[in-house]
Structure 1
Amino acid sequence: MAEPTLTATIHASTESIPEAVWNALVPATDGRPDNPFHEHAFFLALEQSGSATARTGWQPQHIVIAANDEPVGLMPLFLKSHSQGEYVFDHAWADAYMRAGGNYYPKLQSAVPFTPATASKLLVPSNDPAIRRGLLDAAAQLTTRLGASSAHATFVSEVEEEVAESSGWLTRHDTQFHWHNDGFSDFEAFLATLASRKRKLIRRERRDALADGLRTEWVTGGDLTEAHWDAFFDFYMDTGNRKWGQPYLNRQFFSLLSDAMADRIVLMFAYDGTEAIAGALNFAGKDVLYGRNWGCSRHVPFLHFELCYYQAIDYAIAHGLKTVEAGAQGEHKLSRGYAPSVTRSIHWIEHAGLRAAIADYLTREKLAVLQDQEVLMHFAPFRRGNRTDSDD
């Protein structure tokens, strides 16, 4: 039997790919994508709201591979004019290349914009490595054709890292902190796995966070209203303006997302009476709760930990989710029961000299990441025999 003919098509918008085609190419259970950040609706909301478009430096260049005209693979991809909103930092690479007289931008970036959560980028329902390699080859060829410096895919799976290495891409490791559900019946069962001093610390933080009559509430699905989004957006803007000056997402994005996938959204609010004073945005997948954005209208000690970490654990236990990914960075999560976990990215560098320099750097960086994780686990709060594997 003849091998199927593979063809790659570049799509300059999410809208140009039918939702049914896109979602059929991502890991799913009973027809629903397992990871909310794989959903066509998520990318479409970013595009239609103007949050991730050519104007903001995120021009879609999504690759769809077909075998005999039947779509068999998808790589969400963007042509970028900057390195913002990625959470895997290559600014030093850009600076070095530009000082040497090169142009680092534009570059190609396979990512879920503004979302530091692990989500496969080489989406192949058959799991055929040849099709995954085809997606990588198409991205590398597009890099050359567009005169870009490089192509990158961030927060990829371990399988994708292996395929990329066999295809000549460079690989990079970093650390996030994830909570793992060992079949706990409730929060106290989780606390029982921690050292006594850490159990006391967490109980005190939870108590102090909700002192003076504060209460929490989970809002999801049909209960979400525009009033909830108005309150949350105020919190989001306050955090963004204080941290990096200009938040990436606009108000319309949240309404579009709520209309399309409200059942994947969990807003966690803290109330003083009837007034919402803080909120945290989460997305629920098949097995994972993904913590994203947080903000508040006034400072309350430990309220950030309560809404973003402890409430997330409560929700995961209540809904039988295996993992909580609480976002990028944050060694303070370690003492709250979140274990260091490897994150992966892959990189195609066009210029031979830049590629050699980055390859040398990544070899040393991987060793440093491994050593850091070993040190971190030494300070993990778990009782002897209850330490969580650092690589999920």
Structure 2
Amino acid sequence: MSYRTGVISSLSDVGAPAWDALLAAQGEDNPFLSHAFLHALHESGSASAETGWQPQYLVLWDGDELAAAMPLYVKAHSYGEYVFDWAWAEAYHRNGIEYYPKLLSAIPFTPVTGSRLLARDDAARAALIELLQAQQDGAGMSSTHILYPPEAQAMRLHEAGFMLRSGVQFHWLNPGYTDFDQFLATLEHKKRKNIRAERRKVREAGVTMRQVRGGDATEADWRFFHRCYSNTYAEHRSSPYLNLDFFLRIGAAMPHNILLVVAEREGEPIASSLVLHTKDTLYGRYWGAVEHVPCLHFETAYYQPLEFCIANGIATFEGGAQGEHKMARGFLPTKTWSAHWLAHPSFADAVERFLERESGGIDAYIDELNERNPFRA
């Protein structure tokens, strides 16, 4: 089958109905891949050419139907990716070779697994990979990086000549708990005791919690959340990736996927967290506070979302990037994937050898983590 192919710099060129229909056709229920989320990133200027994220989405059309698509960016840096290639860029620099710009398929600032090869069927997916290979060969980029694809897509990319890299995240699984206490009862005694102590400290500090569904969130809620989010970056001497306009856009466009948790004391908000969710999965995203209260981070960003999962029958809570401390709160290690292609043969060989060694270390690390399972035997 022949497709009409293209490279687009704005999702306005596709439109929400066609894009979201493609997601539905391949059974993808991931809010970060929705037209609303991606378009908000671009239109708000959070992920744009000016910030080093130049959209170059690949699209395949079969007549008037969108048959396949790939979120793809020309990157001028490696910020906001969560699969770190700074050492590779430095090695290129030391040898007088340009590493940037590079091609990157990912959801900006979002370490969440989801389809990167969006396709209605296998034939369209194969054609999309061919288009990607033609694009990377013709554009003169140093490399192509596909972050957080599902394992099956990672293996498909490996067959097409990409090198694979693995990583670790921590996910919480809900077998059908009736309440938070039933979940606690499954943990080792020390873990259970520590969680109860952490929650008690927050209550004794006079803090109350409010869960705000996206449809009920006011502009004041979003402005306060953004203040908290920005404060977290300021405390780490960094600049926030996302602006208030982005959060207001997703709040308006996809309220059914959004939960804000607001911590208050004496009627005044002091902290907030944002999670996104579907009926099956909740994704921890951002948190921040305007004053310090011991253990408030855990209550706002973990325990309140866990209660929400239990109350709504949500099966999985993806806790985001890194963080062994999540295991003490019932999260377990899960392998993640990325795929990489480097144009320079010598560097490709060196990186492939590195990834082989790193992969063995990741597998051993996951085995070690599983030996420290926080649940009762």
Using the size of structure 2 for normalisation, the TM-score is 0.97
Structure 1: which 5+ runs fail to align? 385-392
Q: Does 1:106 align with 2:101?
A: yes
**Equivalent position of 2:35 in the other structure:** 40
1:180 and 1:320 mapped to 2: Cα distance?
11
Tell me the secondary structure at the aligned position of residue 13 of structure 2. Answer: coil
Report the 3-state secondary structure (helix = DSSP H, G, I; strand = E; otherwise coil) of the residue aligned with 1:326.
strand
Deviation at 1:140, TM superposition (A): 2.3
Which residue identity is paired with 1:26? L
Question: Is 1:361 matched with 2:357?
Answer: no
Aligned Cα root-mean-square deviation (Å): 1.5
Q: Residue 349 of structure 1 aligns with which residue?
A: 342
Per-residue CA shift, 1:123-164, capped at 9, x if unaligned?
Answer: 1133x1x43232222222212222111111111101101111
Amino acid at match of 2:2: T
Q: Which residue of 2 aligns with 1:283?
A: 276
Amino acid at match of 1:352: P
Question: How many angstroms apart in 1 are the aligned matches of 2:4 and 2:347?
Answer: 30
Q: 2:322 & 2:24 partners in 1: Cα distance?
A: 26
Instruction: Tell me which of 1, 5, 9 is aligned to 1:8.
Output: 5
Partner of 1:336: 329
- Measured in 2, the distance between the counterparts of 1:77 and 1:210 equals 45
Residue in 2 that maps onto 1:54: 49
Say if 1:49 and 1:68 are closer, same or farther in 2 by CA, change over 3 A. closer
CA distance in 1, matches of 2:376, 2:298: 21
Aligned pair count reads 377
Query: 2: CA distance between counterparts of 1:169 and 1:352?
Result: 13
Contact 1:76–1:121 under 8 Å retained in 2: yes
Map 1:1-392; keep pairs closer than 5 Å.
4-27=1-24, 34-67=29-62, 70-126=65-121, 128=122, 130-384=123-377
Shift of 1:350: 1.2
What are the superposed Cα offsets for residues 25-76 of structure 1, whole Å, 9 maximum, x if unpaired?
A: 11479x9x61110110111111111111111111111111234563211111
Residues 28/229 of structure 1: CA separation in 2 closer, same or farther (3 Å cut): farther
Query: Normalising by the residue count of structure 1, what TM-score does the alignment of the two structures yield?
Result: 0.93
Amino acid at match of 1:353: S
Judge conservation of contact 1:133–1:164 (CA < 8 Å) in 2: no
Shift of 1:6: 2.9
Q: Partner of 2:118: helix, strand, or coil?
A: coil
Kindly indicate whether the alpha-carbon contact (under 8 Å) linking 1:27 and 1:123 is maintained by their aligned counterparts in 2.
no
Contact 1:340–1:377 (CA under 8 A) maintained in structure 2: yes
Q: Name the SS for the 1:25 alignment partner.
A: helix
1:291 and 1:327 in contact (8 A); partners too: yes
Classify the secondary structure of the residue corresponding to 2:168. Answer: strand
In structure 2, the partner of 1:387 is: none
Counterpart CA distance in 1 for 2:57 and 2:48 is 13
Would you say the 8 A contact 1:61–1:76 is kept in 2?
yes
Q: Is 2:166–2:337's contact at 8 Å kept on the other side of the alignment?
A: yes
- 3-state SS of 1:277 partner: strand
**Structure 2 runs not aligned, ≥5 long:** none
User: What SS does structure 1 have at the residue aligned with 2:347?
Assistant: helix
Structure 2 Cα separation of the partners of residues 336 and 28 of structure 1: 36
* Equivalent residues of 2:54, 2:75 under 8 A apart: yes
